[in-house]
Amino acid sequence: MMPFCPIRFEPSLNIAVGWRSALLDGCARAGSGPIPPAMRRLLLAALIFLAIGPVPGMEQRRWRDVRIDRASAHRLDVPAEDAGMMRFVRGWHLVSPHSRFGGFSAVAKIGPDRFQLVGDNGWWTRLTLHPDGRLSDVRIRLLPTPGGGADRKKLSDVEAMQVDPATGRSWMALERVNEVRRFDAALTRIESHARLPGAAWPANSGAEAMVRLKDGRWLVFSEDAGMMRFVRGWHLVSPHSRFGGFSA
C-alpha cells in the first residue's frame, strides 16, 4: 500500500513549507513507517513542479521577443543650462516595445532631424526626432557580422561610430574583437573590416571612441587608460611674460 503523508502548503506562495520535516513527522504520525527512496524523489519532484511550474488560476509571465518598429520620445524635465563650455539644452527618454531597443553606445546625425543609433548588442536604430518631440520613420535592425553569428555579443559589441555625410557609409569600432568595420549606407553589408594595430588591446576595455581626421586617418581611444602610453615630452620655458598656460 502506498504511504500517505500530510504536507502543509503555504497558499499565498503556492509552495510547500518545511517539506522535509513535514514529510518525516507527518509519516511518523500517520504510522506508515519510513518512505522508500523512490517515493522521496517523486515527492520532491512534485514539490518543485508546484513551486516553479504552471499552477491553475495563476498567470504565467514569460519573456516575449517583440520585434516592432515603434518608439516614442519623452522630454526630460531638466532645465536648460546657460553657462559652461558644454551646456545641456534639452533631452529625451526614448522608449520602444522592441525587445532589442536601447543600450546605445553611439549616435550620429545623418540628416535633418534624422539620427542613427547603435547599441553594444549589435542592433541599430534610425529615427526622425521632430522639434516637437515626435518620432517617425523608426527602423530597428540587426547589424551583419563577418561570420554570420549576428546575435553574439563578442561579434557585435559596437562602442563608437562615425558616419560619412557624403556617402552614408558608417565606420564602427568594436571592443572584444577590437576592430573597425565599414558598413554600406543601408547597414546591410560589411564592406571592409580590420583589426586595430599596435599592442594587444584589452579584451573588454578596447575601442571606446574614435574620430576621423581631415587627412583620412583615424584616432581611436581605448576604454582602458593604461593603453595610452607616454612617449616623450619637453618642458618649454620663455622669458616672455605671456608665455605658457597652454590648453591645446
- Same domain flag for 129 and 200: yes
- Separation CA 198–CA 28 (nearest Å): 73
Domain that holds residue 33: 9-52
44 and 142 together in one domain? no
Question: Domain total for the chain?
Answer: 2
Distance set, CA 72 to CA 63, 94, 114, 122, 128 (Å): 22, 6, 14, 21, 11
Answer for the pair 104, 119: CB distance below 8 angstroms, yes or no: yes
Only one residue has cell 558644454, namely 86
Are 32 and 138 contained in the same domain? no
Would residue 95 count as lying in a domain?
no
- One domain for residues 107 and 207: yes
Pair 32, 142 in one domain: no
From first to last of the 248 residues of the chain, give the pLDDT tens digit: 444 454 444 444 444 444 444 444 445 444 556 667 777 778 777 777 766 666 565 555 566 889 999 999 999 999 999 888 889 999 999 999 999 999 999 999 999 999 999 998 999 999 999 999 999 999 999 999 887 665 577 788 899 999 999 999 999 998 888 889 999 999 999 999 988 887 677 777 778 888 888 888 888 888 775 655 444 566 677 776 666 666 44
Residue 63 lies in a domain: no
Asked which of 20, 36, 52 is the last residue of a domain, the reply is: 52
CB-CB contact of 142 with 150 (8 Å): yes
Q: What is the CATH number of the domain that holds 111?
A: 2.130.10.10
The model carries a pTM of 0.64
In this structure, the answer to whether residues 39 and 116 fall within a common structural domain is: no
Same domain, 128 and 43: no
Residues 127 and 186 both lie in one domain: yes
